[in-house]
Amino acid sequence: MAVNTTPISAGAALDALRAGFAAQAAGHLTASWMLHGRPGIGKTEIVQQLADETGSRLYDLRLTTIEPQDLRGLPFYDHASKRTVWYPPEDLPADEGRSTILFLDELTAAAPSLQPTVYGLLQERRVGQHALPDATFIIAAGNMIEDGAVAYEMGTALSDRLIHLSLRAEANDWLASFAVPRGLHPAVTAFIRTRPDLLDTTEEALRQGRMIACTPRSWARVSAILHAVTDKTLRDVLIAGTLGDAAAAEFVLIVDDIAATVQAQAMLETEGRARLALYPHSLHGLTALVYALVTLVDARTLPASIDVMAGIGTLVDARTEPEFARLPLGELATYGFELLIDKALANGWQEAFRSSASYAAYLATREG
């Protein structure tokens, strides 16, 4: 059964959940939400980020690992009232004086026997006599059968209890909202900017009968591999086992180029003609330099980072190599400054741009 709603990026889904959380806190809307998306697209990360931003305690329930009685709690015979009472499980929110998020992950993979118990949580916000606190925000997530994951069809009795958000992988959104803020390895961010079609290859892998596909989650794992494994032979084996052999073969070629040519830290510590000689020659290398600068920058190094970023746009005149004339240097410098300004504004460092002669020259070139 298709999810007949407008597909949106992970960043847009997070915006929708932010709005829903604020609306519930203001007493305007109480609803349960459902994130649909392929494995590895970032559903769990969205929920974790919302919890971090709102200061909410996150209750993360993997529904494939529990039985109905795990949600109902433990029965106990009350001799005074001559009734059976239920002690609620610690996995469900209690009234603890702050907002909570109940995350029902892998909902579509949960056993059908569990679904009636989940119905009560999603609609009546209770299990038996245990009612969820008013400040509980409920989000479910799951995959579809066509994603190649273990999943059951979602019946109308369940789907009608939810506001559905269908996620799709979008490279620009993933770079801006996930990869750059988390400081993923510059080789990964540079590669996905130039090959956005390889951010998520799940559909192609399913069509070709291949087990391994590229996903946003697998690219984050590749970043960790690059930081952790120094032996090139072993590194390449691990990357192939994460991305699949075809994507990995293309990626490792640019990793070595970036490692040989990108010297972001040295450029921040160098000035004049010596710095000019350190700029990479390739588009991958320059793109990786942009991301490396944004990752490394702090209040102390921001003036030098502005100088280096502005220098990208001048390479066609400042260097003699003919390849610079074929590269989108102005576009790359503009994109880099957008990222750099966003980070400066988030940290209160914007004064460095007002006093930078390099940034003033960059703006004059754009206006001219």
Q: Are residues 158 and 211 in the same domain?
A: no
Question: How do 83-87 and 74-78 pair as beta strands?
Answer: antiparallel
User: What is the pLDDT, as a whole number, of residue 95?
Assistant: 78
Together in a domain, 229 and 148: no
Q: What's the pLDDT at 152?
A: 65
User: How many independent structural domains does the chain possess?
Assistant: 2
Q: 152: Cβ–Cβ under 8 A, 6 or more apart, which residues?
A: 108, 109, 110, 112, 145
| Same-domain pairing of 26 and 103 | yes
Q: Are residues 136 and 177 in the same domain?
A: no
Residue 192 and residue 160 in one domain: no
For residue 150, the model assigns a pLDDT of: 56
Q: Is 2 part of a structural domain of the chain?
A: no
CB 285 within 8 A of CB 323: no
Domain limit, last residue, from 168, 201, 216: 168
Q: Whole-prediction pTM value?
A: 0.81
The whole domain housing 90 covers 7-168
Is the same domain home to 90 and 211?
Answer: no
Which of 168, 203, 227 delimits the end of a domain? 168
Pair 155, 220 in one domain: no
What CATH number does residue 16 fall under?
3.40.50.300
Q: How far apart are CA 96 and CA 143, in angstroms?
A: 32
1 in a structural domain: no
Contacts of 266 (CB under 8 A, 6+ apart): 278
- The answer on 154 and 35 residing in a single domain is yes
* 204 within some domain: yes
In a domain, 185, yes or no: yes
Bridge partners of 164?
34
Residues of the chain with pLDDT under 70: 1, 145-153, 368
- Write the Ramachandran bin of 97: left for phi over 0, alpha for psi from -120 to 50, otherwise beta: left
**Residue among 44, 39, 4 nearest 17 (CA):** 44
Of 142, 168, 194, the one marking the end of a domain is 168
Do 297 and 355 reside in the same domain of the chain? yes
Query: What's residue 195's pLDDT?
Result: 92
| Gap between the Cα atoms of 210 and 206, Å rounded | 6
- 251 shares a domain with 303: yes
Residue 99 lies in a domain: yes
In a domain, 283, yes or no: yes
For residue 269, the one-letter residue type is E
- First vs last Cα of the chain: how many Å apart? 55
Structure tokens given for 255: 């990793």
159 & 246 share domain = no
- Residues 323 and 339 both lie in one domain: yes
